[in-house]
Structure 1
Amino acid sequence: MCDGKLGLKFIHLCDVWKPLLKRQWIYRVNSVSGRNFSVNNGCTGTKKDTEGPFPAAYRPREVERGWSEWWEARGFFAPDAVPSPGAAAVFSMVLPPPNVTGQLHLGHALACTVQDVLARWRRMRGESVAWLPGLDHAGIATQALVERTMWHEERLTRRDVGREAFERRAEAWAERQAHAISGQLRRLGLSLDWSREFYTMDAKQCAAVTEAFIHLFDAGLVYRDCSLVNWSCALQSAISDVEVVHRAFEKATLVPVPGHSEPVEFGTLTDFAYKLCDSDGEVVVSTTRLETALGDVAVAVHPRDPRYAHLRGARVWNPLARRQMPVVFDECVDMKLGTGALKVTPGHSAVDFDLARRHGLEVVSVITEDGTLGENCGQFSGLKRFDARRGVRDALARMGLLRGRRDHAVQVPFCSRSGDAVELLSRPQWFIRCKAMAEEAAAALQDGRLVIEPQHFEKVWYDWLYNIRDWCVSRQLWWGHRVPAYRCARPGAAEGEGTWVSASSEEHARRKAAAQLRLGAEEARQLSVSQDGDVLDTWFSSALVPFSALGWPEQSADFKKYYPLSLMETGHDILFFWVARMAMLGLQLTCRLPFEKILLHGILCDAHGRKMSKSLGNVVSPEDVIYGISAQELQDRNLQKLRSGLLSETELRKATDGQRKLFPSGIPECGADALRFTLASHNVKSTFINFDVAECHANSLFCNKLWQAARYTLLSLERLSPRLGAASAAPGTYDRWVLSRLARAVAEVERSLSGSDLHSAAAALRAFVHQEFCDVYLEATKLCTRGEGGGEEAAAACHTLLCCLDATVRCLAPFMPFLSEELYQRLPLERAAETVALAPYPTPEQWEQWRDEALESEMRTVLEVVSALRRLKGAYIQCAKRPLAYLLVKDEAGRETLQDHVALVAHLARCESVAVVDALPQAARATAASCCVGPDCTVYLQHQGAAAAAREDIANRRDKISKELDRLLKMTASSGYREKASPQIQSTHMAKIETLKTELKRLDNLKVPS
């Protein structure tokens, strides 16, 4: 029973640990059996009750309940939450704002986990951490979803309801999704400062977007031009490269395309002839887009192609467009592709567009914004583009100009939002000149002002910036930031005439235009002013986030203190679309880099190394892992998505089949802590990261192991409290060993987190908690705390258990915030902070005094002996439950050392007894199996007549492992393996090979007597 004197006794006994802990520890006993105690924690918010009985089982749903609400209510994650003497170091980040298009997936959870681990770690080190949450309005993606939902539910288009009504619908959608996403972020336990939350369409962000565009426009960096852009006919808008997905077709393949009742064929090459105008003869050209022949303006050949040398100055006749076309010579032509003659269609090809500019050719567009052929296409006008393909082919055949058709490998661009085949169309758009800004961003990396990890992405950074094209920032959408550009025209001006200015309002535009045109007040009032109807590319507003989220263009206190950001962490797949543009605009608009360091994580894949996609059925929601989900519920959700129009019939079948294979029994409940720890346990700097639900479940069991260790400690305290004396309780051998191992783990965690190597820190903590603290030390304490034990040895063990638990909980807090908080509040100690999130993070300096290399070496030998005995026991089909064991040691010093640990060896190896000998007893020589532990020690295990079966079992296991090893070695050595297998698959295979080799060596080391 706990009494009032126990606390005083622990104050006295804790004196040994004071130099280590650097603070007063007062242990208290929280009864595991149900007795309560009260502690005034000073919390004015609603705090979860942890005063009651310590639950026997770890239940993640119960452990994680309530903490996020309490953290937020108490304001623990505000930058000034850490009380620090003097000026604290500042660490600032912005969470890459998720799109308000739907729920977060595991890719978001990965990014959030990486950032939260770093933010929590730095906050616990006493730094002033500003980590800002936000949401992105996701213009094109949100509009596509809202339009799809409107059509599916009401058979309405955006033009049916009008722009204002459509914008209200999009706002309502975004509000619903924003609420769902913020709930997901809180369930992950993220330490975001919600008081600084932003949204890319809120008033402050809109003001920043307008200011940025005006600044760039007035600096001559924004211009309007008629140029080729990626165009989605289904969306009737220009789209960015990130929304374009290239699909490869090796041969003729039928593909459904929006707006066409029948599938469209891709993967063929058609040859047809253009006749020479002034002589007999023809030039045969090849194309995968026969319908664009109506827009051909020339035929191009290579200057060194001898087949066409005689055609200099020649012209050919285009019978479809009824125009003469020159034959031009240009080195961009591939002599080996097709016939070596290239039809030039500058209105629908980037290569041809550049070629046309070099040769002064006309740019003719024949495909309109809605995907039909234009008025300049004669008999084909008004036809859908792919329907016109058949008509053009038939017309060429009637004219005797068709020369053949064959399969041809081709990459076709598709819109990821609509599934439509992307066209290149020449349309008036707003562009940003990027060359000078890109060169400055590249120079920042070169001179060391900017750091990128992993380092190999530096080359990618340079390649993209030095080969950058101007950025098309206008989109023909209704959802987003309206382009702050106004056409100002004098009365009577023709349509399309006038002066463009960028301004914050119509009146502002009128004043700027009047000043530019030098007009008087009356003339200025008569100007016709109209705003451009387009909206800005979502990446434009996102590129401002590092400074707009902190109050720019105002010189706010947040902007002055937290800009530039300390770190920008995001996926490497948006290095160009977002990160580089943030750097360019930050330098241009604020004259400073927006961040000091870029940390890029890889793309999350499933357990088989496949990218996650809804068509494969391998997309996993974080909630499914946190709370678990049955196989039937997964299928029901797919059906709901089909009914909502979010999945097609084809996608439904693929998703269902994929989920049945990946999750035949559904997904078990793992909890947010296990999910976070699993994500952090992988090298996030890898190009690809494989996520396995089975690994996540194993980490949930790891959480349970720590939970049970804490419960064991509290039970031991309660049981031993009447017998714990007031002796000095100096740490014993195993106490000093585990503290030395803890010191080593703390140092490794510090080193790893400093280098953003989360996986190394996670591995160090897992190894310490699982393999050393729980599997060895905790078991060792049972030798002195159970039965009639007590006194100094038991007291020291209790102190060490609590000491290790406290340090471990604080070390794990950035990775497992919920479990760490729960245990931090339940452990019987006077806490250094109200929450573990603000408790001091263990540092190597605090623990260095406990490092003991000699003792660690000694215990390494002891544990190798235990491992050898366990392997021998595992080799037997029939073996006594607790057999006899002998340790044959050659030198006397070694025997004395092992003799000190025989009780622990017997306990860990589950042996009846362990004898340390210099010669094996005669009776054991013929019946004991053996295994070498280094050159001076051999362990023997007494068996009970199962030697033959053991030998057969070892031989069978060896044969099985050898066959698997041979198979892997042959596969990895085969021709083409390096080229065909992905890097992550190769890494998995190499790790498996090393594991099999190690297991073979262990089996070879086992000796079973005849």
Structure 2
Amino acid sequence: MPEEQKTGSGIQMAGVYEPKRVESKWYAYWEENGFFRQEADKSRRPFSIVMPPPNVTGSLHMGHALNDTVQDVLTRFKRMQGYNTLWLPGTDHAGIATQAKVEEQLAKEGTSREELGRERFLERVWDWKRQYGGRITRQLRRLGASCDWSRERFTLDQGCSEAVREVFVDLYHKGLIYRGNYIVNWCPHCHTTISDIEVEHVDHAGHLYYLRYPLKGTDEFLTVATTRPETMLGDTAVAVHPEDERYRHVIGRTVVLPLVGREIPVIADDYVEREFGTGAVKITPAHDPNDFEMGLRHNLPAVAVLDREARMNENAGKYRGMDRYEARRAIAADLEAAGVLVRTEDHAHAVGECYRCATVIEPLVSRQWFVKMEPLAKPAMEAVRGGRLEFVPARFTKIYLGWLENIRDWCISRQLWWGHQIPVWYCEECGAEICAKEDPALCPSCGSRNLRQDPDVLDTWFSSGLWPFSTLGWPRMTPELEQFYPTSVLVTARDIIFFWVARMIFMALQSRGEVPFRRVMIHGLVLDAQGRKMSKSLGNGIDPIEVIDRYGADTLRFMLITGNTAGNDLRFHPERLEATRNFANKVWNASRFVLMNVGDFEEGPRGDLTQADRWILSRYSATVAGVTEALEQFDLGEAGRTLYEFIWNEFCDWYIELSKPRLYRREGTAAPAGGRAQAGEALEGMPAAAGDSLARHTAQAVLIEVLDGTLRLLHPFMPFLTEEIWQNLKRHLPGSAKSLMLAAWPAGTACRDERGEEEMRLVMNCTKAIRNIRAEMNISPAKKAEAIIVVPDEESRRMLEAGREDLRQLAGVAKLDLVPELAGKVSQAAGAVLEGIQIYVPLRGLLDIDKEIARIEKEIAQTVQEEARLEKKLNNPGFVAKAPPEVVMKEREKLAAAGGRRQALEERLKGLSD
């Protein structure tokens, strides 16, 4: 429990918020007391989220930090609202990444997985997972994630493995899983197929080669442009657009493939871009996914000239054995020698690389396992179109539907050992293919025991596609599955809508007959300050743990949330961390002020509420409504901004200052003239006199009520800071929960008083106007001013009369006159006009008038010179014609600003001279 130091009648909190001292203490308290866990309770409304499982090999990055903060905010919000809440965490086995980690270890030991064999290698991988696999979950605890760690799942644990087999076997027997030859992404280094999401497209500086293909029986040539001349040996057609007038006469004829001599047809296809190169393209179905699809449409053969090591194979003739880049150079040289190479141009283009090893991907036709996507995609599209599932923001619906409408069959086999081994066996005697949930002992066809299991494993996305229901115990009907499925919302980044979100939806519809979640909340990516994606290659990544060590988890969380507009990318500006830390300190200091001044508070009847009391309670009520509505709509950024504005600009900067006279009776308790004391300053004072005790008690009660409610609103965003403060405050809150995270969410109250808000707004605006006058005229804060406010409107005058003492205190005014009209001219005064109200501050006695006149006249002269210089510059035709437009515009803006400054100075001078 928190350490308390008491001084006088209140609690003395540390002068500065220290996240390191607070965070580990409270997270341990939450977790040890089981506050994150709730049993399935049919009597309560469920709210559930499954955590997108990070790779077991991974460490926390800014994308994780944003994603898991969003989930935690929603979970803590719903938990406080009384929902039966489950945030279920887990990790993904990350087939390629984890296997690569262990193979690196083996290489250092001078051995390999092949030498160990499959069984011993998998033992080593499990050992690695037990030793290193918990790193990212420990880091998530540092972030404050309030997920139910007692239910943590892993994509290779027994329950998930049962679910994988159940689904695979079901889809296989329905004819939705098949084995066939299709083009895949092949990594020559990792020696496996990889999914589209595991391909990173990186700009490479390359060349565009223009080659002449002879048109058979003529002296004509078709010139094609290619970035990969080494694959031309596998060309089986040349394609043009059917509406391209330049080539209509050659469609249906044949060209002779240079260096090979094979005749290949000229075909027409709408896919061809007439603007690329010459508008005629070589078609190599075995080595390009788009060419492969075109080959299927036109019944073209697929001639492979590269093997799985990305070396030229037996179909490459004299180039056999060369790696692809060596062959490119050799073939280009031979084409040039043969007069086929017309020219070469520099050409930058995006090239697919393996996300794990950065090796350039090689598209290859390979015999693999696939899922038929068209039958699964249709119900997945209909679920969204029919409103059973919605995307937030809604614009991502179009992206989701567009991908499913053009979906290809999904390659699900990987040439790895770590993962879910495909549950298919082959009989070595009769050749039967057996797909079963349990390992078969005998061949059902011939009774042979000589069975061999398919060596490949399933794509990691196959098991993670079952995540929303496999983690809840399916295929068994568990209490968790009954209560929490479908889950309430999935929170994920915009870049995996296709690869993960869509697959979860069609897997759930196929296996459960229901959508896996009701809503999909899409957030953007965290980019660097220049708008670039964070990556190891750019070296622009920012470690969230380093940020937490320096600024605290709450600062990082609140910065990420308030800097994020739903669905849009977020640029990470380090200076925003400083600003957010200042906000955390503001909350700390305001709370410290309250706690040090309510130590003697006891429950009892309140006195009459002041104008300021009614105003802050009304603004608090509006903030509860605004934050709640924004969170219900998943607009977390707006919820955070609403809280920030209320806490900083209303509670701290105004109400705390307004409460001080009632808390202390000594002379001069008002804020310094022309300014405001910071919350937590000027705390040493004598208690109010007995006659003022009821007013003091009322101020204390309002401070406690608003601080308590505000901490509850802020808790989902900044859990550590708010828990530390609230635990100090809760002794003034009878019947409080053991933790703020278990306290009730503030309910909408009947305290909204828009009329009272309008009254206070008028007082505040007049206060600001007087403060501005003092600042502009350089009036010392130590000097008390007088003010005359001319208020013709009787109702406005009544409002200001009610707030006279508040206005006097905050504006640093010793004497305040509220009049319907001026009896005569106010000499040597600075003034302002506000909403039909005239405000005058007589300056005699506040400053040396003659010196101030001289100072202003000097400043006016300098400003006039600056205007003349800028006008001369802008009237120079040479400057305007030659300078960049933005430079000219900047100079015009300087001139306008100088003119405005001169006019303001002249107005001040006029007030002093009258």
Question: The residue matched to 1:207 in structure 2 has which SS?
Answer: helix
Shift of 1:179: 2.0
Residue 908 of structure 2: aligned partner? 1008
TM-aligned CA distance change 1:407 to 1:717, over 3 Å: closer
Aligned-pair distance for 1:794?
Answer: 0.6
Q: Determine which of 71, 76, 83 is the counterpart of 1:127.
A: 83
Contact 1:869–1:941 (CA under 8 A) maintained in structure 2: no
- Partner residue in 1 for 2:459: 537
CA pair 907-95 structure 1, distance change in 2 beyond 3 A: same
Corresponding residue number in structure 2 for 1:74:
33
Query: Which amino acid in the other structure matches residue 223 of structure 2?
Result: V
**1:554 and 2:476 aligned:** yes
1:180-579 matches, within 5 Å, as 180-249=135-204, 253=205, 266=206, 268-305=207-244, 307-311=246-250, 314-490=253-429, 498-507=431-440, 510-511=442-443, 514=444, 519=445, 523-525=446-448, 528-579=450-501
How far apart are the structure 1 equivalents of 2:642 and 2:355? 41
Asked if 2 retains the 8 angstrom alpha-carbon contact of 1:781 and 1:797, the reply is: yes
- Secondary structure at 1:932 match in 2: strand
Aligned AA (1:55): A
**Partner residue of 2:728 out of 822, 826, 833:** 826
Shift of 1:878: 6.2
Q: Which aligned pairs between 1:728-877 and structure 2 lie closer than 5 A?
A: 729-786=607-664, 787=666, 789=688, 790-827=692-729, 828-829=731-732, 830-844=734-748, 847-848=749-750, 850-877=751-778
Unaligned runs of 5+ in 1: 1-28, 37-51, 254-265, 492-497, 629-669, 968-976, 978-992
- Counterpart of 1:933, as a letter, is L
Q: 1:1006 to 1:112 in 2, by over 3 A?
A: farther
Would the alpha carbon gap of residues 571 and 302 (structure 1) be closer, same or farther in structure 2, given more than 3 Å must change? closer
Aligned length: 850
Farther-moved stretch of structure 1 (58-67 vs 879-888):
879-888
RMSD of aligned alpha carbons: 3.2
Q: CA deviation at 1:918?
A: 4.9
Aligned-residue offset at 1:693: 2.9
For 1:612 and 1:748, the matched residues in 2 are separated by: 34
Distance in 2 of aligned mates of 1:487 and 1:393: 45
Q: Is the partner of 1:421 in helix, strand or coil?
A: coil
2-side partners of 1:525 and 1:912: how far apart?
104
User: Helix, strand or coil for the counterpart of 2:477?
Assistant: coil
Over 3 Å counting, the alpha-carbon distance change for 1:354 and 1:624 in structure 2 is: same
Partner of residue 55, structure 1: 14
Of 791, 810, 816, the match for 1:890: 791
Q: After TM superposition, give the deviation of residue 755 of structure 1 in Å.
A: 0.9
The worse-fitting range, judged by mean Cα deviation, of 951-960 and 206-215 is 951-960
Shift in CA distance, 677/301, structure 1 to aligned 2, threshold 3 Å: closer
Q: Which runs of 5+ in 2 are unaligned?
A: 667-686, 875-883, 885-892
Work out the CA distance in 2 between the residues paired with 1:957 and 1:472.
72
User: Structure 1 counterpart of 2:654, which letter?
Assistant: V
Q: TM-score, normalised by structure 1?
A: 0.79
The amino acid across from 1:750 in the alignment is T
CA 1:910–1:476: 2 relative to 1, 3 Å: farther
Shift of residue 752, structure 1, vs aligned partner: 1.2
| Partner SS for 1:743 | helix
The 1:726–1:688 alpha-carbon spacing in structure 2 relative to 1, beyond 3 Å, is closer
Percent same amino acid at aligned positions? 39
Q: What secondary structure is seen at the aligned counterpart in 1 of 2:787? A: strand
Take 1:303 and 1:934, find their aligned partners in 2: how far apart are those partners? 70
Q: Does structure 1 conserve the Cα–Cα contact (< 8 Å) formed by 2:762 and 2:799?
A: no
Taking the aligned partners of 2:900 and 2:407, their CA distance within structure 1 comes to 54
Give the aligned partner of residue 666 of structure 1: none
Aligned partner of residue 43 in structure 2, secondary structure: coil
Q: 1:233-268 deviations in whole A, cap 9, x for unaligned?
A: 12121111112222345xxx3xxxxxxxxxxxx1x1
Please give the per-residue CA displacement for 1:922-951, whole angstroms capped at 9, x wherever unaligned.
79522x222222112325363523356468
**Aligned AA (2:519):** K
Residue 587 (structure 1) aligns with = 509
Deviations 1:774-828 (A, max 9, x none): 2111111111211252411111111111111111121222112112222222113
Shift of residue 601 of structure 1?
Answer: 1.0
Aligned to 1:693: 574
Pairing 1:635-646 to 2, within 5 Å after superposition:
none
Instruction: Provide closer, same or farther for how the CA distance between residues 32 and 688 of structure 1 changes in structure 2, counting only shifts above 3 A.
Output: same
Once the two structures are TM-superposed, the CA of residue 380 in structure 1 deviates from its matched residue by: 0.7
Helix, strand or coil at the partner of 1:525:
coil
Is the 1:367–1:374 contact (alpha carbons within 8 Å) kept by the matching residues of 2? yes
The DSSP-based 3-state class of the residue aligned with 1:524 is coil
Instruction: Give the drift of 1:715.
Output: 2.1
Question: Contact between 1:482 and 1:536, CA under 8 Å: does it hold in 2?
Answer: yes
Aligned to 1:19: none
CA distance in 2 between counterparts of 1:1000 and 1:572 reads 46
CA distance in 2, matches of 1:725, 1:213: 64
Which of 30, 33, 48 in structure 1 is aligned with 2:7?
33
Contact 2:9 2:597 in 1 (8 A): no
Deviations 1:852-903 (A, max 9, x none): 2221111101111122223223334564543414132232543443244343
Q: CA deviation at 1:549?
A: 0.2
Residue range with higher mean Cα deviation, 767-776 or 142-151: 142-151
State the Cα distance separating 1:680 from its structure 2 match. 2.0
- 1: CA distance, partners of 2:572 / 2:767: 33
Residue 591 of structure 2 corresponds to 710
- Cα 1:65–1:915 shift into 2, 3 Å: farther
SS of the equivalent of 1:113 reads helix
**3-state SS of paired residue (1:428):** strand
Task: Give the C-alpha shift of residue 616 in structure 1.
Answer: 3.8
The amino acid that maps onto 1:596 is R
Answer whether contact 1:602 1:689 (CA < 8 A) is retained.
yes
> Counterpart of 2:909 in structure 1: which amino acid?
P
SS in structure 2 of the partner of residue 65 of structure 1: helix
TM-aligned CA distance change 1:228 to 1:694, over 3 Å: same
Match in the other structure for 1:113: 69
- Which string of whole-angstrom CA distances, capped at 9 and with x for unpartnered residues, describes residues 712-745 of structure 1? 2232234x67xx9977533333222211111111
Structure 2 distance, partners of 1:949, 1:101, is 67
Give 1:344 shift: 1.9
SS at 2:399 equivalent: helix
Pick aligned residue for 1:929 from 805, 809, 830: 830
CA contact (8 A) 1:91 1:566 kept: yes
Q: Is the 8 A contact 2:472 2:481 kept in 1?
A: yes
Give the Cα separation in 2 of the matches to 1:227 and 1:617.
Answer: 36
Q: For the residues of structure 1 that align with 2:147 and 2:174, how far apart are their CA atoms?
A: 36
> One-letter code of the match for 1:422?
I
TM-score where L is the length of structure 2:
0.87
